[in-house]
Amino acid sequence: MMPEGPLDLVKVYSHPRSGTNFVRGWIGRVFYPHRKLERTQPVRTGHWSQRKRVPAPPAWKLRGGHEHWHAGFGQCFYVYRDPRDVMASLYLTPEFRPVEQANWTPERWLREPIDWELTPGKPSKPTKLPLQHWLDHVTSWADRPDVIYVRYEDVLTNPQGAAYLIAEGLGRDPGRYIARANEVDMELCGPFPHEGEHVRRFEQVFTAGQTSYIMSIVGEEHWAVWQGEHQS
């Protein structure tokens, strides 16, 4: 029989702008509905040159961070998202760029190295293009033991299926979690529900040529590329 006692807190990791806050909030509501996971104090966020304090996002106590994988993490979640939408979300978040880049076009931004590493709050020499930064990150997390992979698009489009896969990864009977996934108000899971959550947002941001450039580097068969339907 599968264990029925309280779940240990399992930390959530990701690359920035992978839908992390939304998915972490959803995991908190579905898998830890009776645990106090919130942080009352504000947190610092944004690019290292313009940090600011904001209210802590949902389920803060599940927060792992944006580090590359290492064995000391133990069992954890890794949230991932289609790289085209990660790039679109990074570009559409001006707080993650120096102020002098505020008016950069998508074309220029895609082809210029970023000046941070792991998270926009950590400065580094500008050596990696945004897409290479993402690719290095997800590569470090690929096929790791004790990692439960959670696709952002699956949580949005098939939350019951996502709950089933997570429950299996945790060694729990999926039934109760699927039932909760049916009841959760998705609009309340993220820190900014009025802004909505998005799949294939890149179509509104990048040209066909820019999207082809992204895919020429990532590859159509990369495991993080979303094909527009639920994937197990």
Nearest in space to 62 (alpha carbons), one of 160, 151, 148: 148
Separation of alpha carbons 205 and 211, rounded Å: 9
User: CB neighbours (10 Å) of residue 94?
Assistant: 15
State the chain's mean pLDDT as an integer. Answer: 91
Question: What is the CATH number that goes with domain 11-218?
Answer: 3.40.50.300
**Residue 171 phi, psi (nearest 5):** 75, 35
**Residue 149 phi, psi (nearest 5):** -85, 130
Per-residue model confidence (pLDDT) at position 231: 41
Q: Is a pLDDT exceeding 70 seen at residue 2?
A: no
Per-residue model confidence (pLDDT) at position 3: 59
